[in-house]
Amino acid sequence: MEAIAREVLPPGMSYEWTGTAYQERRAGSEVQLILLFSMVVVFLFLAAQYESWSLPLIIMLAVPLAFMGALGAQALRGLADDLYCQIGLVTLIGLASKNSILIVEFARRRRQEGAPLLEAAREAARIRFRPVLMTAFAFILGVVPLVVASGAGAAARRSLGTAVFGGMLVATLLTL
């Protein structure tokens, strides 16, 4: 719109953003900073919890997959990367990490008991497979009403629901 306004509007005329468009335009560059800060906070929290720098890295490998799934789902539905999608991305940091935590925590315990690394990882993946799927798909199916929302405010619910649905689906399928 700005490019067209520069070409079409006569000298002396201008335009101004208002309302939600103004707020989104103003906060546009802050989104990446907020996502980065959110990931750093989760990483530091996990590092303190596990007293390790490597386990949080392993756990957080699911987050980029969730972001790709969320943005891919938004694109497939023709939805914009709006404020509600961005709220969904922040939510996905914790949700995608949760699946990894379920497996990594069990593997860490087995490792402390003296199991070899590969055996601990295999056993954790095998034993925690069903609980991870159950919790992930309970959440994924729980946001379906947001994905198919209609009525007043449906655009916001569809955007948030689609981002979280797509992100969790991709993160769950690819991390397992």
The residue among 64 and 11 whose pLDDT is bigger is: 64
Its pTM stands at 0.78
Do residues 175 and 68 touch, judged by C-beta distance below 8 A?
no
Number of C-beta neighbours around residue 136 at 10 A: 22
DSSP string covering 142-168: HTHHHHT--STTHHHHHHHHHHHHHHH
Query: Could you tell me the pLDDT band of residue 51, with boundaries at 50, 70 and 90?
Result: confident
| Residue 68: alpha-carbon gap to chain centroid | 8
Do residues 46 and 59 touch, judged by C-beta distance below 8 A?
yes
- 63-78: pLDDT as tens digits: 999 999 999 999 999 9
Do residues 146 and 157 touch, judged by C-beta distance below 8 A?
yes
Predicted confidence at residue 145, as pLDDT, reads 93
Number of C-beta neighbours around residue 36 at 10 A: 10
Number of C-beta neighbours around residue 107 at 10 A: 22
Do residues 69 and 166 touch, judged by C-beta distance below 8 A?
yes
- 117-174: pLDDT as tens digits: 999 989 998 998 898 899 899 999 999 999 998 888 888 899 999 999 999 999 999 8
Phi-psi region of 12 (alpha: psi -120 to 50; beta: other; left: phi over 0): left
